[in-house]
């Protein structure tokens, strides 16, 4: 995986010391490593996570049919258990859900769990260089990794079905795209990781969409395999029945393609959503959403994405698109026939998408691209991440560090899940409590040094404030969202030395981008331009600056935007967070709770 040089100097050890004490394992691999192919065809080889189980208990779950009412109860219990799994330490919910699924399908014949011949042949070809076997997809027993796939899809379904709303498919995809850009902020890939961990071989890593959505940020490297927000967009669109792929194109003297942008396949036409820069690519007249054919045949479509001053050309040109490579989501859970069986039995609000045949996707993309198609292949990123999760302790430790604040021991996870599921009133109250209530349990946590408790509380305050702003955005309360994003820019820590290696501080990049969008919608162009123009070293800066330029050039002879810095303003709102380290007054917290669903 190509990596760009670090632009940020990340130094103090802070929470790295905590993770050194509470997690296990280390290593020196770049993350995530390309899986070794040494054991790909031998189920007895170490490193094959599925081969050792491939022939286990082929008929273990055969049995007689059960009462239809009992089957319905079992199925509902699975959904309920997995909805609550994230907040239930110990994994018992996942274990019980897995057992219930095996009971539910025990009467199905083995043939129900077999791949179609064409699908098996395609997967064998695509997985030839990976230590995964196609026989793993045909294991009839549900395992914990299968329950995790269902848990992930349940969250994606809750978000996508709520955000997409009714209407034309392209409009629904556009709403999911806008939500993804607002809720998954891009950060420099090296940003969250302090040098203390890097020195011990714990490198920054890509993450699965579930983790990216929960924590609210991810990374994208233009042209590279690493594309957290793109993968998240794919996962959400799948839940409304739309195939989204990563498009790329061959590059001279390079083995890997240039990974370019996402495309949503709607009625046989690929529409372009550049998840890296956070902008749907406009059509030839500057309106609507461009198709791949328009971008490949009309140079103005991509030329409009050039930044004028200083001139920075968009990396892809129409001439690059003579041959296009399509990379489809390779998350392995979607390929198992047992997921198709379960999906077909789900109904109503639980009707999530768990299965998608890769051959059907391949054929649909081939028909859409015609002579322009170079290949349709499995995207390596999900395969790399899944392999690393089960085989690379250094990768797991890096994920644990970035996800540290979303332990069930802290107040963020439950509130964030409620927000994502659309329970906005409860989520806003929970975030408000998290911002004002000092964590008494911290004093009893022996593994957390006393001098770091304030750092942790500051991070929780910042996460909670930012997520509360997103909840207000979801609840169509733009003024309240603006107030909270501005507060997020003012919360400590603000000194460069203090923010290095602190994941929560990266959300300030998201506050700027969201403030720009909100001010632009209100017609306050000078504030929007200021927010869009603040320093940002991620690909998001491209769309931010394009939007700022458009606002300025709308009135090129008008006065320049006056200086505006929300971080320098004093808030006169009643919910401003207390100074770090000062206990919030209990009555003030109660007042906040009562008003959380209106104006924070």
pLDDT greater at residue 170 or residue 454:
170
Structural domain for 359, as ranges: 25-43+115-136+171-335+350-398
Task: With a cut of 70, say whether residue 370 has pLDDT above it.
Answer: yes
pLDDT greater at residue 68 or residue 145:
145
> What CATH number corresponds to the domain at position 591?
1.25.40
Digit-coded pLDDT (tens) for 492-521: 877 666 666 788 888 999 999 999 999 999
Q: What is the mean pLDDT of residues 130-139?
A: 94
CA dist 177 to 19, 231, 272, 365, 420, Å? 34, 12, 11, 20, 15
Digit-coded pLDDT (tens) for 433-457: 998 766 555 544 556 677 677 788 8
Query: Which range among 7-21, 167-181, 485-499 shows the weakest confidence by mean pLDDT?
Result: 7-21
pLDDT tier, 185 (very low <50, low <70, confident <90, very high otherwise): very high
Q: What is the mean pLDDT of residues 298-317?
A: 92
In terms of domains, do 463 and 525 share one? yes
In terms of domains, do 245 and 271 share one? yes
In terms of domains, do 243 and 386 share one? yes
In terms of domains, do 388 and 428 share one? no
Has residue 179 been placed in a domain?
yes
Query: Which range among 40-44, 90-94, 365-369, 543-547 shows the weakest confidence by mean pLDDT?
Result: 40-44
Q: What is the pLDDT of residue 308?
A: 85
CB 155 within 8 A of CB 251: no
Angle subtended by helix axes 169-183 and 507-522, to nearest 10: 130
In terms of domains, do 435 and 576 share one? yes
Q: What is the pLDDT of residue 538?
A: 93
Has residue 76 been placed in a domain?
no
Task: With a cut of 50, say whether residue 316 has pLDDT above it.
Answer: yes
In terms of domains, do 189 and 206 share one? yes
Task: With a cut of 80, say whether residue 11 has pLDDT above it.
Answer: no
In terms of domains, do 311 and 267 share one? yes
Task: With a cut of 50, say whether residue 14 has pLDDT above it.
Answer: no
Task: With a cut of 80, say whether residue 555 has pLDDT above it.
Answer: no
Has residue 88 been placed in a domain?
no
- Report the share of the chain in percent with pLDDT over 70: 78
Task: With a cut of 60, say whether residue 72 has pLDDT above it.
Answer: yes
Pairwise CA distance, residues 239 & 151, whole Å: 13
Query: What's the chain's average pLDDT?
Result: 82
Q: What is the pLDDT of residue 367?
A: 98
In terms of domains, do 238 and 328 share one? yes
Q: What is the pLDDT of residue 557?
A: 53
Q: What is the pLDDT of residue 442?
A: 52
Q: What is the mean pLDDT of residues 328-335?
A: 96
Strands 217-218, 185-186: pairing is parallel
Q: Which of 535, 427, 537 is nearest to 471 (CA)?
A: 427
In terms of domains, do 544 and 418 share one? yes
Task: With a cut of 70, say whether residue 258 has pLDDT above it.
Answer: yes
In terms of domains, do 394 and 418 share one? no
pLDDT tier, 540 (very low <50, low <70, confident <90, very high otherwise): very high
Pairwise CA distance, residues 567 & 489, whole Å: 6
Has residue 94 been placed in a domain?
no
CB 103 within 8 A of CB 71: no
CB 229 within 8 A of CB 276: yes
Q: What is the mean pLDDT of residues 59-82?
A: 74
Q: What is the pLDDT of residue 279?
A: 97
Q: What is the mean pLDDT of residues 188-217?
A: 90
Task: With a cut of 90, say whether residue 593 has pLDDT above it.
Answer: no
Q: What is the pLDDT of residue 410?
A: 87
Task: With a cut of 70, say whether residue 41 has pLDDT above it.
Answer: no
Terminal-to-terminal C-alpha distance of the chain: 43
Task: With a cut of 70, say whether residue 278 has pLDDT above it.
Answer: yes
Total domain count, the chain: 2
- The values of phi and psi at residue 207, to 5°, are -140, 155
Q: What is the mean pLDDT of residues 529-533?
A: 94
In terms of domains, do 279 and 302 share one? yes
In terms of domains, do 377 and 413 share one? no
Has residue 213 been placed in a domain?
yes
Q: What is the pLDDT of residue 331?
A: 96
pLDDT greater at residue 498 or residue 551:
551
pLDDT greater at residue 106 or residue 68:
106
Task: With a cut of 50, say whether residue 596 has pLDDT above it.
Answer: no
Has residue 259 been placed in a domain?
yes
Which residues have a Cβ under 8 Å from the Cβ of 112 and sit 6 or more positions away? 105, 140, 337, 338, 341
Has residue 340 been placed in a domain?
no
> Does the reported pTM lie above 0.85?
no
Task: With a cut of 50, say whether residue 569 has pLDDT above it.
Answer: no
Helix, strand and coil content of the chain, in percent to the nearest 5, comes to 55, 10, 40
Task: With a cut of 60, say whether residue 599 has pLDDT above it.
Answer: no
Residues comprising the chain, all counted: 600
Has residue 472 been placed in a domain?
yes
Digit-coded pLDDT (tens) for 221-236: 999 999 999 999 999 9
Digit-coded pLDDT (tens) for 95-133: 999 999 999 999 999 999 999 999 999 999 999 999 999
Q: What is the pLDDT of residue 556?
A: 54
């Amino acid at each position: 995986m190509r990596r760009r040089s670090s632009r940020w100097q990340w130094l103090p050890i802070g929470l790295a010391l905590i993770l050194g004490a509470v997690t296990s394992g280390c290593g020196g691999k770049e993350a995530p490593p390309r899986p070794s192919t040494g054991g790909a065809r031998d189920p007895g080889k170490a490193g094959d996570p599925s081969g050792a189980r491939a022939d286990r208990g082929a008929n273990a779950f055969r049995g007689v049919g059960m009462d239809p009412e009992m089957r319905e109860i079992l199925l509902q219990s699975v959904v309920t258990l997995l909805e609550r799994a994230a907040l239930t330490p110990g994994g018992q919910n996942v274990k019980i859900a897995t057992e219930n699924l095996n009971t539910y399908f025990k009467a199905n014949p083995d043939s129900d769990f077999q791949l179609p011949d064409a699908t098996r042949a395609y997967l064998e070809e695509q997985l030839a260089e990976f230590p995964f076997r196609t026989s793993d997809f045909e294991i009839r027993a549900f395992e914990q990794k299968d329950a995790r796939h269902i848990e992930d899809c349940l969250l994606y379904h809750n978000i996508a079905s709520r955000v997409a709303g009714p209407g034309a498919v392209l409009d629904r995809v556009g709403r999911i795209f806008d939500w993804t850009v607002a809720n998954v902020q891009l950060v420099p890939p090296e940003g969250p990781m302090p040098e203390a961990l890097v020195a011990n071989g714990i490198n920054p890593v890509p993450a699965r969409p579930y983790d990216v959505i929960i924590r609210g940020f991810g990374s994208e490297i233009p042209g590279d395999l690493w594309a957290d927000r793109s993968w998240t967009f794919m996962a959400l669109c799948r839940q409304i029945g739309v195939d989204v792929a990563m498009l790329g194109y061959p590059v001279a003297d390079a083995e890997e393609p240039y990974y370019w942008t996402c495309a949503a396949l709607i009625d046989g036409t690929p529409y372009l959503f550049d998840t890296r820069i956070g902008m749907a690519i406009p059509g030839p007249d500057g309106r609507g959403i461009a198709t791949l054919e328009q971008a490949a045949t009309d140079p103005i479509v991509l030329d409009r994405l050039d930044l004028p001053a200083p001139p920075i050309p968009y990396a892809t040109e129409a001439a690059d698109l003579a041959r296009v490579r399509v990379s489809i989501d390779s998350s392995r859970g979607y390929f198992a026939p047992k997921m198709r069986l379960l999906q077909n039995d789900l109904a109503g609000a639980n009707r999530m998408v768990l299965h998608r045949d890769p051959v059907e996707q391949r054929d649909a993309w081939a028909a859409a691209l015609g002579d322009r198609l170079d290949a349709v292949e499995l995207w390596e990123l999900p395969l790399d991440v899944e392999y690393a999760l089960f085989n690379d302790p250094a990768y797991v430790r890096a994920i644990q560090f970035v996800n540290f604040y979303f332990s069930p021991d802290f107040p963020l996870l439950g509130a964030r899940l409620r927000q994502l599921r659309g329970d906005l009133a409860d989520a806003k109250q929970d975030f408000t409590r998290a911002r004002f209530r000092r964590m008494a349990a911290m004093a009893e946590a022996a593994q957390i040094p006393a001098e770091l408790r304030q750092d942790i509380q500051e991070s929780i305050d910042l996460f909670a404030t930012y997520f509360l702003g997103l909840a207000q955005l979801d609840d169509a309360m733009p003024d309240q969202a603006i107030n909270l994003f501005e507060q997020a820019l003012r919360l400590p820590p603000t000194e460069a030395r203090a923010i290095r290696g602190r994941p929560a501080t990266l959300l300030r990049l998201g506050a700027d981008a969201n403030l720009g969008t909100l001010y632009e919608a209100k017609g306050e162009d000078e504030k929007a331009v200021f927010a869009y123009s603040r320093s940002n070293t991620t690909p998001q800066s491209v769309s931010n600056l394009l939007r700022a330029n458009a606002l300025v050039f709308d009135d090129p002879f008008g006065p320049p935007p006056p200086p505006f810095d929300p971080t320098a303003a004093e808030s006169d709102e009643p919910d401003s967070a207390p100074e770090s380290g000062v206990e919030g007054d209990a009555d003030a917290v109660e007042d906040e709770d009562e008003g959380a669903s209106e104006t924070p």
